[in-house]
Structure 1
Amino acid sequence: MKTNKPLFTMQVLSIVPPLLFIVIYVHSDYTYMAIAIILMVLIGINTYRYMKNIALIRYSLLLILVASFFIYAFNGLGSKETPQNYEVLHYKMYPVATFDFNRTVQIDQMCYYIGIDKKVQFSVEYLSEGTWKKFHTYKQKFPFSFRWKCVDKNVTTSKIKLHVTKNQMMLNEVRFSYRGKPVLYKTDKKYLNDEQNISIDTTYYGGMFFDEIYHSRTAYEIMHGINVYENTHPYLGKLLIIPGIELFGMTPFGWRITNVLFAGLFIVMMYYLAQHLFKKRLFAFSSAFLLTYSFMHLTQSRIGLIDTFGVFFVFVSYYFLYRFIKEQKLSILLWSGVFFGLASAVKWSAVFAVLGYMMIALYLLFSRYPLEKRFMGYRLLMYGVLAYGLVAGAVYLLSFFDIYLQTGSFQKIVDYQFSMYDYHTKLVSTHSYSSPWWSWPIDYRPMCYTREIHGTLFRSITAFGNPAIFWMGTVALFYLIYASVKKRTLESVFILLAFSGLYLPYIFVGRLMFIYHFYYAVPFMILAIIHMLKDAMVYFPKYRQHYFIYLAIVALLFLAYYPVLSGYEVPKVYVDYGLRWFPGWWL
């Protein structure tokens, strides 16, 4: 039975959290309940076999972790039904659209779904006693895209008209209602009332929020050959959003799903890098477990942004770099360069990884690590330039192929680079959720992407760290410094330098920053934690059970904070008195 105990404990840790999640958050969904029953049967059988000292039924712990993450991530990810047809309305048309009710009716709400807002301004007027009166005026404060907006105003009228006063927009649907019941109309525009079966949802579930209005909108524009709105980051991230839109339409589910899939694959890569680093299945499982129950990993993966792609590619690049050091095959180093190029083609934040690559190379040279002759001395640096300069650079340039296909001009690609550079070097702005680099590991100020309060109910989506990971990770990083100096093992130095390369450059970044910029370094903080706990199990064998207690605490905090990570609606009192531990935690 003793030989079964670690395996049994890992199985419990892999099954119990998703089981609790289903019971707490999605107990009314029959599919999830079926999954819960299967999990209960499996854990029940293995509990019996463990008690009877019978060999346990083995299953893939990694597969359970990835499946668990998908359960958490896909729950309430986004609607698969939003208006798809649209009319292009511009200021040269007058009136742009007329809504005729054929009789005098009462209206207390107008809802409309805008697809692409080209810095539009428009006004809505209603006919009252032969006079047109103001109903609603829209002036752009930000690029309001692919979401519903509702305006409450009680009027009596027989006709309403919409007039674009500046620029143009893609308008998908217009609805009127009185006391919650639809008020039907006729219009000369074919596609403004042709999808009446689609429900109105003004929450994150039914439309774009935060920077989705830039990245996911731009993905749609690239698909349809429209001049792109967002050109502050490279192209690849937006291209990776497109497959989801092609499969599920221009819906929240469609523009978010590829992020979730990459995040699930990320857990697999975490397992394999940890397996190479620590050589034991327990520590590989634990590393993947911590990533699965990382707050920031879940939040970032459920939004139609591009960060998850970049973090994934950087991590895979380091995976191949470590394999290169151990196996010393040039092809593996070149694969590391390919993924670095892909990461840079998503977001320039990935370029900071170069610092980590350089420090690791210097460590290998000055520590006299046993390299093959062809990789010794200056040759290692030359191969590094080949992988991270030429190969990565070629991959980066190829990611802009769409610009070249549309324009036939290489100069347009060059102009795009200068446009990005100008934006990031000249950005001067303030934000209540901004935070300095030193505050990220201690979870000083979370980044709230959206929050809504309806009476006593509260929903929000917030990026920050699982305290059990971030706070333990801060301690682990100091231990890693000690271990790197004292023992100088490749594993400790590799993790420390990879983390440092992705984190320390922010000390010198003068522009506005947020805690989600720390996302790139979080995977290596997790590896630092496992490295420290691995050593602790050697030094303090009597406390081995505390290792699993720590993992359980991580999962329990994840389940407790899930509502504010995902937009799940809960009583506001639960957030105020149960989750907001510090005044600066604006969840």
Structure 2
Amino acid sequence: MSALLAQDEASRTLSPDQVTPDADPIEATRARLVGTPLPTDRLRGWLVTAFVGVLAAIVRFQNLGFPTDKGTPVFDEKHYVPQAWQMLRNGWFEDNPGYELTVHPPLGKVMIAIGEALFGYNGWGWRFTAALCGALMVVMVVRIARRLTRSTLLGGIAGILLIADGVSHIQSRMGMLDIFQAFFVLAAFACVLLDRDLVRQRLMRAVEAGWATESPYGPRLGVRWWRLAGGALLGLSCGVKWSGLYFMAAYFLLTIVFDLTARRAVGVRHPWWGTLLRDALPGLLAFLALPIVVYVACYAPWFASETGVYRHRVETGGTDAWSVVKGAVGSLFQWHEKVLDFHEHLVTRPESQHPWESKPWVWPMSLRPMLYYYEGGTTACGEAKCVSATMLIGTPALWWLSLPMLGWGLWRMFSRFDWRWAAVVTAYLAGYLPWFLNLDRQMYFFYATPMAAFLVLGITLGLGHVLGKATDGPERRRTGLLAVALYVGLVVANFAWLWPILNGDSITEWRWQAELWLPSWR
């Protein structure tokens, strides 16, 4: 760790707050535009990433086939796992409305079906791709945090924190859809950050060549492949669940703000008009048109089928709303209309309220978890009565800091114009705020799955403040490092305490009760 800290300090150069009036204009512009460069320890960075990634795979894949309900799926796996098996049997499309529960796009179920194709219809089969995506998310978080903080040490810490998050852990070990959406949303976020750095590198080359301000709107930036990749990944996230639409809007606005500040940093005379004319329209193509194309492509097997669910809804007397659109396209519209109607009427009724339902105001601190599996009649713990349970719960040492993280992030975002906090807070709120639009709807804590990675990234940025700057004295840095190490140890210890109820281990009744810290957890 000391070697990582030393390398972190060595990688620091002139930062924006160190720019003086007599500084070289090119270097001053570089400091404002590019900021602190990435750490130079590329090999060490990838070794840390690989180590944390392997650790994540071990934790996520251990005993993956347990628990099951006498060999069948548990909780909401009962919806998606059989649908995925049906898709595998049919040729990657669904042909049975499943009691009106074919209410999500096909991609998430295709992902589950890939694991079932490899390992069969069992716990390993229907959870394999979820665990793989969960482990890869840890790898992405290491690289994203390293890019945000310019610190390999903090990147590795972010990966450890995500491994120790109960929500990410459980959802990576369930045959459900949410981990796939979280995976694509996080990958798109990485592309947004890469696009930001690439844009600023291109503008810096224009500054060095002397033509960055020849046009009052600034230079054209060429094809931005990372932005296009981000748009495609957001189309895939919508192919899992429609809530990916909110991330499309959030990331588009985020890139526009990044482009505006970049043009202002190089001295463009009309940065607002330059951003509008040269960045906004291509941004709409990347974050609206391309995701739509990718989303529709997710239905390619359905279009190619003859027996797909609602495939001939127009011909068989569908609704009148889309009767003007004929053929398969019209049937797809009518299917979407039916799905939208299902979600609009999925409301909480007092006489049929789900015992583990929760509203979004309790999600940030994981105040109302969800019980996925419970078996109270075992004796595997060595006593007459044992409990084996799996509960979706956010590690308190992480999730109980959600509101302080968000408050500090908003302050840094609006008072210090810190782009790193702006990126993380925007992504976090894109996964959170939209759920307040319809509070009558049935909601559950697992909807917060995409928020977990951004919570970890926000906490990691906060730990960077605790660690201190490279310009701080060695005593300050050592004190900061001790505080960070103690906090990471607390998170890991908290995760270890929760381990039995995150994995369905057989424990005594006393231990089960000791795991339930709050009345709302019962």
Distance 1:416 1:76 in 2: 38
AA aligned to 2:136 is L
Deviations 1:58-100 (A, max 9, x none): 9933323222222222222117xxxxxxxxxxxxxxxxxxxxx
Residues 2 and 360 from structure 1, CA distance in 2 versus in 1: closer, same or farther, beyond 3 angstroms?
closer
User: Contact 2:466/2:483 (CA < 8 Å) preserved in 1?
Assistant: no
Match status 1:347 vs 2:347: no
Could you say what secondary structure the match of 1:221 adopts?
A: helix
Match 1:422 to one of 341, 353, 376 = 341
Match status 1:436 vs 2:359: yes
Q: CA deviation at 1:585?
A: 0.9
Which has more radius of gyration? 1
Distance 2:185 2:228 in 1: 14
Match status 1:515 vs 2:445: yes
Q: CA deviation at 1:3?
A: 4.2
User: Contact 2:192/2:255 (CA < 8 Å) preserved in 1?
Assistant: no
Structure 1 partner of 2:494: 557
Q: CA deviation at 1:240?
A: 0.9
Deviations 1:153-192 (A, max 9, x none): xxxxxxxxxxxxxxxxxxxxxxxxxxxxxxxxxxxxxxxx
Aligned-pair RMSD on alpha carbons?
2.5
Structure 2 partner of 1:314: 185
AA aligned to 2:116 is I
Match 2:130 to one of 233, 256, 259 = 259
Structure 2 partner of 1:235: 106
Residues 206 and 60 from structure 1, CA distance in 2 versus in 1: closer, same or farther, beyond 3 angstroms?
farther
Match 2:254 to one of 353, 356, 360 = 360
Q: Which is further off, 431-440 or 370-379?
A: 370-379
Deviations 1:119-139 (A, max 9, x none): xxxxxxxxxxxxxxxxxxxxx
Distance 1:312 1:2 in 2: 32
Structure 2 partner of 1:483: 412
1:109-188 correspondence runs (5 A): none
Structure 2 partner of 1:384: 283
Match status 1:224 vs 2:123: no
Identity within the alignment, %: 24
Deviations 1:422-467 (A, max 9, x none): 1111112321211121111112111111211015211111112111
Match 2:58 to one of 71, 78, 99 = 71
The answer for unaligned runs of 5 or more in structure 1 is 8-56, 80-201
Match status 1:334 vs 2:228: yes
Bigger RCO of structures 1 and 2 (CA < 8 A, at least 6 apart): 2
Could you say what secondary structure the match of 1:441 adopts?
A: coil
Residues 205 and 557 from structure 1, CA distance in 2 versus in 1: closer, same or farther, beyond 3 angstroms?
farther
User: Contact 1:356/1:499 (CA < 8 Å) preserved in 2?
Assistant: no
Residues 545 and 211 from structure 1, CA distance in 2 versus in 1: closer, same or farther, beyond 3 angstroms?
same
Deviations 1:445-500 (A, max 9, x none): 11111211015211111112111111123212111111112210211211111212
Could you say what secondary structure the match of 1:465 adopts?
A: coil
Match 1:543 to one of 480, 484, 509 = 480
Match 1:534 to one of 457, 461, 464 = 464
AA aligned to 1:301 is S
Residues 206 and 332 from structure 1, CA distance in 2 versus in 1: closer, same or farther, beyond 3 angstroms?
same
User: Contact 1:78/1:204 (CA < 8 Å) preserved in 2?
Assistant: no
TM-score with structure 2 length normalisation? Answer: 0.74
Deviations 1:202-249 (A, max 9, x none): 944722111111111101111222525231110000111112111111
AA aligned to 1:550 is Y
Q: CA deviation at 1:353?
A: 0.8
Match status 1:301 vs 2:172: yes
Distance 1:304 1:6 in 2: 43
Residues 393 and 564 from structure 1, CA distance in 2 versus in 1: closer, same or farther, beyond 3 angstroms?
same
Residues 263 and 2 from structure 1, CA distance in 2 versus in 1: closer, same or farther, beyond 3 angstroms?
closer
Q: CA deviation at 1:342?
A: 0.3
Structure 2 partner of 1:99: none
Deviations 1:6-33 (A, max 9, x none): 89xxxxxxxxxxxxxxxxxxxxxxxxxx
Distance 2:290 2:260 in 1: 26
Residues 206 and 518 from structure 1, CA distance in 2 versus in 1: closer, same or farther, beyond 3 angstroms?
same
Match 2:118 to one of 233, 247, 252 = 247
More helix per residue: 1 or 2? Answer: 2
Q: Which is further off, 310-319 or 492-501?
A: 492-501
Distance 1:424 1:2 in 2: 52
More strand per residue: 1 or 2? Answer: 1
Residues 369 and 306 from structure 1, CA distance in 2 versus in 1: closer, same or farther, beyond 3 angstroms?
farther
Could you say what secondary structure the match of 2:520 adopts?
A: coil
Distance 2:117 2:191 in 1: 31
Match status 1:213 vs 2:95: no
Residues 375 and 319 from structure 1, CA distance in 2 versus in 1: closer, same or farther, beyond 3 angstroms?
farther
Residues 70 and 358 from structure 1, CA distance in 2 versus in 1: closer, same or farther, beyond 3 angstroms?
closer
Structure 2 partner of 1:138: none
Residues 248 and 474 from structure 1, CA distance in 2 versus in 1: closer, same or farther, beyond 3 angstroms?
same
User: Contact 1:205/1:252 (CA < 8 Å) preserved in 2?
Assistant: no
AA aligned to 2:48 is L
Distance 1:519 1:481 in 2: 21
AA aligned to 1:433 is W
Q: CA deviation at 1:529?
A: 0.6
Distance 2:224 2:363 in 1: 36
Match status 1:62 vs 2:49: yes
User: Contact 1:484/1:492 (CA < 8 Å) preserved in 2?
Assistant: yes
Distance 1:421 1:220 in 2: 24
AA aligned to 1:447 is M
Structure 2 partner of 1:571: 508
Residues 375 and 301 from structure 1, CA distance in 2 versus in 1: closer, same or farther, beyond 3 angstroms?
farther
User: Contact 1:344/1:396 (CA < 8 Å) preserved in 2?
Assistant: yes
1:378-417 correspondence runs (5 A): 378-407=277-306, 409-417=328-336
